[in-house]
Each structure stands twice: as structure tokens, then as C-alpha cells.
Amino acid sequence: MKKKDCISILIPDGQGFLATPVINCLAASNQFKIYLLSNLKYTPMRFSRFVNHFTYSPKTENDEDWIHTIDNTVENHGIDFIMPVSEDSIRKLILHKSKLKAAKKLMLLPELDNFDTANDKALLSQHLHAYDIPYPKGCLVSNMAELNKIETLNFPVISKPTIGYGGGKHIHLFKNMDTLKTHFKNNNFLGIHIIQEYIEGYDIDCSVLCKAGEILTYTIQKGIVSDASGFSPSDAHVFVQEPKLFSVVEKLMKTLNWSGIAHIDLRFDENAQQFKVIEINPRFWLSLEASLHAGFNFPELSHKLSIGQTLITPKFNECSYWSLRGLKLKQDKKILFRWKFLKKHTGLKFLIKDPVPIFYRFFALRFGKIESIHDFSN
């Protein structure tokens, strides 16, 4: 498609690390001009060959300043569509939608109450309990005295903050009460934590695009490679069909009356022989490029749904996909010399097509600070 005929899309939170997979997917469709707005001057995707125009706007304490900047950018560049990529930005746009002049150009998003339920692990646990949707047994604690609540739980248990910290950060496994109490004694409580029984089994995820609680398209992917912590996102996936898992996710999205994209983390409980909901990422996800490899370009599909086009569900492609980091973790290094496999089943093609952001990120992380290139609050 000629550039003049392309649809112009604004990513208003280009400083977030999720901007990279979203931009790669949009570029793969070859029908979008991508505009990037960022509160960091030197975020990696500023240097992407896929970005048509970059705008730097320093972060302020007033959300309405950001809303005003979005409106100005839309007007100045004739933007057709606004696609936020992070939880913080999505929530701000839902909250201030009435103040956004270009609100009709915003991608399909859930209602604020439903977004908050999905984004807060404590509220989500209450929702899962109320609708009898399988989830790990657990409780909420906010100080040392409340740790006695977990005496009803079976060890081992995991602890994690109720809000934020994607990518497995601040998740800890404890085999007994003594180690748990020692941890929280040495590390002051920062907000409310949820303590849950550890599930023996395996991780499996479901990515969805919904409208008014109905799942219109989805993929299911099972992680096959992750780092030593066991809590970080998988670096390799195999896409599968799991009707029983889908029925759980279908009920969850319906009870949330969900609209837009979401990525649901689940775990198969080998003892109970059922899939249990762990958390919801109410945004795009790190393995977005893997979904693209399976035949599902979720950013493109989200745009089509948002502007009222009829979705034609892509043909599901059962396949595997490896991130470049996943290749590094793989035991059999011979795979690094299998060019056809690398080209077809990995993110190497994105490195070849758009190398500058990746190399810039590498050197910035090696010689600088990660906060200088990514804003993890967005």
C-alpha cells in the first residue's frame, strides 16, 4: 500500500517496552503509518524505520496535559486512530475519555470498573470467586501481622503485589512460613500483596480480542522455555487448541463484559486437573510477535474491530515461536545454525528488518540505565 493511502496510527505511550512488538505487528500488515508520542527523548523505537514521525513530550504530573498533547498530535498530523499499549496509559484514556477531543479515534477499550477489576489481582480474585471461575486459593496481606491469615494455605506459596510489576517481577516462592516471614521482615511491605498456593503444573496463556464480553478471536499458547526464576514470561511458545481452557476464559470475559484486547495467564493444576486463572494483562503482551507468527495480527485486528469492520477470524496455525532470548536459553545450540528454522520460527526477521532499535537498546542497557530508554510506569 502506498504511504499516502495508509492509515495513520498514533501510539501515545511510545516510551513503554510494549511499543516494540506492537509496532512490529503494525508494520507487518503494510497498511499503517506509525506515529510515536513519548515522554522519553531517546526511547529505542524512536529510531525504528517503521516509525513515520516521533514526538517528544516531557512527562508532567497532570494527566490532562498528556490528553491535550494527544489531541494536538492528532490534529497536527491528521491521525486516524489512537492505540495505547500500556496499562497506565489505557486507564488514563478510559478515565479521561470525555476530555479527549479525538475520543472517536480511540481503539476499543473496556469500561473503567471492568479494567480495574482485571488489572488489580485482589479485585480479580474476588471476581473469580463470585463467578465460580477456577483460581488458586489465597489471601491478601498488607502487613506482618496479617501473615497469620495464610495458615489456612498449603505450602509452598507464592507472593506478589496486587497491582503492576509485569514480567514476573517481585514474585517470590516460599516453601514454609519461616522463609516467608523472614522475607517480609527484611523487605518492607510496599502495598497489598496476594499470597497464593503454588500450583503444580504448567503455564499456559490465552490472548483475546472481545466486544461486549464476546470473544471474537483468540490464540492459546503454552510456554516451553523460561529463565531460572520460573515466573518470567516464556521465551518460546507452542500454539495449541485447548477447548477446556477456552471455556474458562470465555466465562471470564463474559462476566467482565470485556471489550478490546487482553492476555490471560493461566496454569494447569495437575492435581485438580483443571485450568486456573492467574491474572489478566489488560493490554498488549510481550509475545505479540509470536501471535503474529501463528497468523493473528492482534493490533491490526483491534483496529478493524474498533472502526466497525467485520472480523474474519484467521486460520489457526499450530506452530512454535522462539524469541531471540529464548534461543540463548535453549540447551541445544545447534539450532543457532539452522537458518530456515531461525527465519521461520524466531524474531530474527524483526532484527534484520529493523536493527537500529534493538542495537540501541542493547548498548543503552550495557552502558546506561534502563530508565533512560523505557518508562516502566507506562
pLDDT class for 332, splitting at 50, 70, 90?
A: low
Hey, what amino acid is at 300? E
Mean pLDDT of the chain: 87
Provide, for the chain, the percentages of residues in helix, strand and coil under a 3-state DSSP scheme, each rounded to the nearest 5. 40, 25, 35
Q: Is 295 exposed, middle or buried (0-12, 13-18, 19+ CB in 10 A)?
A: middle
Per-residue pLDDT for 290 more than 70?
yes
> Between 243-256 and 121-130, two packed helices, what is the crossing angle to 10 degrees?
100
* Domains, the chain, ordered by start: 3-106 (3.40.50.20), 137-197 (3.30.1490.20), 201-343 (3.30.470.20)
Residues whose CB is less than 8 angstroms from the CB of residue 250 and which lie 6 or more positions away in sequence, other chains included: 215
End-to-end distance of the chain based on CA atoms, in angstroms? 32
* Residue 192 CB coordination number (10 Å): 16
What is the spatial distance between Cα 372 and Cα 43, in angstroms, rounded to a whole number?
7
pLDDT class for 230, splitting at 50, 70, 90?
A: low
Per-residue pLDDT for 336 more than 70?
no
Among the ranges given (56-65, 101-110, 184-193, 346-355), the one the predictor scored with the smallest mean pLDDT: 184-193
Q: Is 358 exposed, middle or buried (0-12, 13-18, 19+ CB in 10 A)?
A: middle
What is the spatial distance between Cα 118 and Cα 94, in angstroms, rounded to a whole number?
14
What is the spatial distance between Cα 45 and Cα 43, in angstroms, rounded to a whole number?
6
For the full predicted model, state whether its pTM sits above 0.85.
Answer: yes
Side-chain half-sphere exposure of 363, counting CA atoms within 13 A: 7
- Do 58 and 77 form a contact (C-beta atoms < 8 A)? no
Which letter does DSSP use for residue 79 in this model? -
What is the spatial distance between Cα 228 and Cα 251, in angstroms, rounded to a whole number?
33
| Kind of pairing between the strands at 157-161 and 81-82 | unpaired
What is the spatial distance between Cα 264 and Cα 187, in angstroms, rounded to a whole number?
29
What is the spatial distance between Cα 93 and Cα 96, in angstroms, rounded to a whole number?
5
The number of helices, as runs of H, and strands, as runs of E, in the chain is 13, 14
Per-residue pLDDT for 228 more than 60?
no
